[in-house]
């Protein structure tokens, strides 16, 4: 989920708890507690990324290529859009069981698994035709090292498509990881957007870039 703050009326909001988390377990608990209201609250703020990223899938990934992983899928907002675009084999991964329970209710994911970006993922090498990650590589969330596993589980010729918060792109090591994976011929950069807003209605300063990599 890509954001930084939310107005409060006196008690801690779900969003404030997310960004007040000091470790991965606290972050997982914060998202689990937010699961029931996540879709409504992010819609009210005009959250774009789960839907925007599917346009890059349509641009780069043939519909017949095979399964797509929605990494950090949360409540599964991207899934229905991908299926509507002609990608029926969608799998999801998230660290919150409660978020995944909402994703299950969408009836579009073939499989959902619990896992954390930055740790070993429960998938075979070279399995997915594409991996997407929207709003996951942001302040205090998944580390740049998570891209190594995303590349591992993507088959040669497949694509890793992800948004990264612009403000941490260099400071948190994302550029370094991208360059390393390119120099070691693990992938090649296909596309990098200019910064754009993560929200249509809130936080104009919360900008991200979308990256498309082709795995070699």
Would you call 176 helix, strand, or coil by DSSP?
helix
CB 153 within 8 A of CB 121: yes
> Beta partners for 164?
137, 209
pLDDT given for residue 92 in this prediction: 98
Q: Fill in the DSSP letter of residue 96.
A: -
pTM, to two decimals: 0.89
Asked if residue 20 has pLDDT above 90, the reply is no
pLDDT digits (tens, 9 = 90+) for 77-116: 999 999 999 999 999 999 999 999 999 999 999 999 999 9
pLDDT digits (tens, 9 = 90+) for 117-142: 999 999 999 999 999 999 999 888 89
- Residue spans per domain, the chain: 14-44, 49-215
Look over the chain and give the mean of its residue pLDDT values, rounded to a whole number: 90
In this structure, CATH architecture of domain 49-215: 3-Layer(aba) Sandwich (3.40)
Pull the structure tokens for residue 182: 């390119």
């Amino acid at each position: 989920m890509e954001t930084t703050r939310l107005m409060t009326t006196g008690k801690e909001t779900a969003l404030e708890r997310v960004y007040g988390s000091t470790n991965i377990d606290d972050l997982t608990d914060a998202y689990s507690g937010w699961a029931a209201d996540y879709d409504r609250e992010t819609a009210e703020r005009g959250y774009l990324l789960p839907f925007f990223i599917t346009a890059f899938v349509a641009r780069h990934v043939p519909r017949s290529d095979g399964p797509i992983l929605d990494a950090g899928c949360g409540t599964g907002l991207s899934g229905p859009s991908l299926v509507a675009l002609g990608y029926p084999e969608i799998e999801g991964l998230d660290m919150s069981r409660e978020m995944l329970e909402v994703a299950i209710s969408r009836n579009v994911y073939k499989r959902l698994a619990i896992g954390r970006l930055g740790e070993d993922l429960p998938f075979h090498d070279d399995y997915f035709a594409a991996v997407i990650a929207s709003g996951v590589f942001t302040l205090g969330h998944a580390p740049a090292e998570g891209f190594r596993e995303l590349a591992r589980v993507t088959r040669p010729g497949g694509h890793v498509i992800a948004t990264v918060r612009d403000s941490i792109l260099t400071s948190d090591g994302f550029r370094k990881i991208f360059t390393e994976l390119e120099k070691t011929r693990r992938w090649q950069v296909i596309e990098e957007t200019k910064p754009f807003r993560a929200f249509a209605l809130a936080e104009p300063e919360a900008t991200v870039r979308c990256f498309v990599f082709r795995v070699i």
